[in-house]
Amino acid sequence: MTPAGARRSYQQIVEAMLEDLRAGGVLTDVAPGSVARTLVEATAREFAELHARMQAVYDAGFIDTAEGASLDQLVAMLGLERLSGDAATLELRARRDSRISARVIVPRGAQVAVELVRGGRAIYRVSDSFEIAEGEAARVLTLQAAAPVDGDLDDVAVTADDVAGGQARFLRPIAGVAGLEFTAPSVTLAARESDAALRERARMAIAAAGGGTEKALTEALLAIDEIHGVKLRDAGDSSDGPPLRPGELEIALDADPADVERNLDRIRAAIEGAKGPGIVARLARTGRKALGGRLLIRPAGPPATAEEALALVSACEAVVAETVAGLAIGEGLVWNRLLTRLMGVDGVADVLVGASRFRVGGDEVPVGDVSVTASERLVLSREGGVAVALEDKPVLTLALILRFDAGTPAEDEATRARAEVTAALGRYVETLKGGAVLGIGGLYDALRGEDGITAFADALSRDGLTLLVVDSREGTELSLRDAGTEDLDIPDGALLRLRPEPVTLRWEEGT
């Protein structure tokens, strides 16, 4: 009987009134059906209704709690209206990184870049936060994209060609997500701005109304889809960079340089609209500082199986990836924080600091704090990142680039080829032990053998194979190919595994 929205329930009100009657000692017959009990229950119902209506009036007066028409009327005082119109809606399948077993959370608004086959790219946003539950291998998420300011929805539409040959990735990597796969082309739907999105826009308008505050500038720039991080530096900031005079403001953007160039007019307009009077703002060139290297871990006890050993390695690598991904522009890596997180991984007894190394900007240095300038962001290097190995058990991480001498296939043919190549690569790796030789010849024979591939088998040649190997002893990536280094001796006790995305297929007719 409690009305919707009431903070104090009907039953709570009844019990409070009965307690008052008992305490007064005047009316003692409050059993169900009595006159006193009936009057109390009737009055409590009216009180509950009053509580609910008063709470609804209260909620309607705040941006954080108002809903529907009440929110529309509230934001109208800020000069805002709920947006409506068409939007491109896309579904992607997010696959779990096999190295991470815990639940994976993707926040609402996370940006995904879709590389289009016809050229250019479209930026989509995750419509609602979602999670890949523990034990769940993948999850389908829904994204939306509005028409560009100077274009229409066709510019961001994902076609069947894009589904077959395009690529999608999070602009800022999400720890625990190995990759994104298309499920179908995008569709155009009539969209009405949600309460949550309208609230966010209202908060940004309020922040911008302050004029010149750090929050106002940051929110105004983050409203541009392609920008997912902002760092400000003024004359009072003593961090790295050229000295600034009073009234000067340096703005570093965490975005692809091509996106900054393409949206330069919008960026300048956002800055002019949000900065205070008398402030001279200039954009800083945002750089990336690549972090690589190797970490050697001493386990608490010898792993019973190779699978347990690799699980421990993967857990440590996930800690490194999450730590680096969480760093903002201008924020360096604090080694003690990373070390504390690594020591907290179940099964880790020690991190052998003396035998571990970082590679920063191509130079190998002892592990420790890694600093960046005010306009730099620390990222893991593309050549293996920070490789992790157990004491006396080096890890070889493999990936294959395979080129077929054939034209671009249909989607179902490409899917079948990828599945067959991945399975054959996995079977080949399972045959390798310490002391064996990892090489192009053996891999080629495995792909062409009885348990090899059938799709495009005639279009496969030895010189179309490139095997990428990250050796945890060095923390660098080695390319094995027919015309160059072909073989690698596998050290005793080594652990072999495939990358989360182990196979890249290419079709190049006539090569």
pLDDT digits (tens, 9 = 90+) for 37-46: 788 788 877 8
Residue 203 falls inside a structural domain:
no
**Residues linked to residue 498 through DSSP beta bridges, in sequence order:** 398
How far apart, in whole angstroms, are the C-alpha atoms of residue 316 and residue 322? 10
- The average pLDDT across 483-508 equals 82
CB 129 within 8 A of CB 219: no
Where in 146-186 does DSSP place strands (E)? 167-170, 177-182
Q: 405-426: per-residue pLDDT in tens?
A: 888 888 888 888 889 999 998 8
Pick the more confident residue, 147 or 506.
506
Pick the more confident residue, 264 or 279.
264
Residues 89 and 182 reside in one and the same domain: yes
Using alpha carbons only, what angle is made at residue 225 by residues 219 and 231, rounded to the nearest 5 degrees?
Answer: 45
Predicted local confidence at residue 295, as pLDDT: 92
Residue 78 falls inside a structural domain:
no
Predicted local confidence at residue 27, as pLDDT: 66
User: Which range, of 130-144, 175-189, 483-497, averages the lowest pLDDT?
Assistant: 483-497
500 CB neighbour count, 10 Å cutoff = 17
Residues 167 and 112 reside in one and the same domain: yes
How far apart, in whole angstroms, are the C-alpha atoms of residue 217 and residue 224? 12
Predicted local confidence at residue 85, as pLDDT: 65
Predicted local confidence at residue 151, as pLDDT: 67
Is the pLDDT assigned to residue 432 strictly greater than 80? yes
Is the pLDDT assigned to residue 193 strictly greater than 80? no
**Sign of torsion over alpha carbons 256, 258, 262, 267:** positive
Residues 156 and 126 reside in one and the same domain: yes
Predicted local confidence at residue 34, as pLDDT: 80
Average pLDDT, the chain: 81
Residues 279 and 229 reside in one and the same domain: yes
**Sign of torsion over alpha carbons 338, 344, 348, 349:** positive
Predicted local confidence at residue 298, as pLDDT: 92
Helix (H, G, I), strand (E, B) or coil at 429: helix
Pick the more confident residue, 331 or 224.
331
Residues 147 and 247 reside in one and the same domain: no
Pick the more confident residue, 7 or 199.
199
Residues 297 and 359 reside in one and the same domain: yes
Pick the more confident residue, 10 or 352.
352
User: Which range, of 131-145, 163-177, 237-251, 371-385, averages the lowest pLDDT?
Assistant: 237-251
Is the pLDDT assigned to residue 239 strictly greater than 70? no
User: Which range, of 184-188, 242-246, 501-505, averages the lowest pLDDT?
Assistant: 242-246
Final residue of a domain: which of 390, 407, 438? Answer: 390
CB 142 within 8 A of CB 130: no
Residues 264 and 176 reside in one and the same domain: no
Residues 230 and 188 reside in one and the same domain: no
How far apart, in whole angstroms, are the C-alpha atoms of residue 348 and residue 14? 57
- The average pLDDT across 101-121 equals 82
Residue 54 falls inside a structural domain:
yes
Residue 74 falls inside a structural domain:
no
For the chain, the farthest-separated pair of C-alpha atoms sits apart, in whole angstroms, at: 102
339 CB neighbour count, 10 Å cutoff = 15
pLDDT category of residue 75 using cuts at 50, 70 and 90 = confident
- The average pLDDT across 278-283 equals 74
Residues 301 and 335 reside in one and the same domain: yes
Residue-range definition of the domain harbouring residue 473: 396-507
Token duo for residue 475: 């923390």
Final residue of a domain: which of 192, 222, 237? Answer: 192
Is the pLDDT assigned to residue 394 strictly greater than 60? yes
Predicted local confidence at residue 70, as pLDDT: 87
Residues 503 and 408 reside in one and the same domain: yes
Is the pLDDT assigned to residue 10 strictly greater than 80? no
What is the domain count for the chain? 5
Angstrom CA distances, 459 to 417, 466, 509, stand at 12, 15, 9
Residue 300 falls inside a structural domain:
yes
Residues 144 and 239 reside in one and the same domain: no
Residue 4 falls inside a structural domain:
no
User: Which range, of 25-34, 206-215, 391-400, averages the lowest pLDDT?
Assistant: 206-215
- Here the CATH number for the domain that contains residue 223 is 3.30.70
User: Which range, of 236-245, 441-450, 479-488, averages the lowest pLDDT?
Assistant: 236-245
- The average pLDDT across 117-134 equals 84
Residues 167 and 153 reside in one and the same domain: yes
Of 76, 81, 80, 49, give the one whose Cα is nearest residue 60: 76
**Residues linked to residue 249 through DSSP beta bridges, in sequence order:** 234, 281
DSSP code at position 370: B
Predicted local confidence at residue 370, as pLDDT: 92
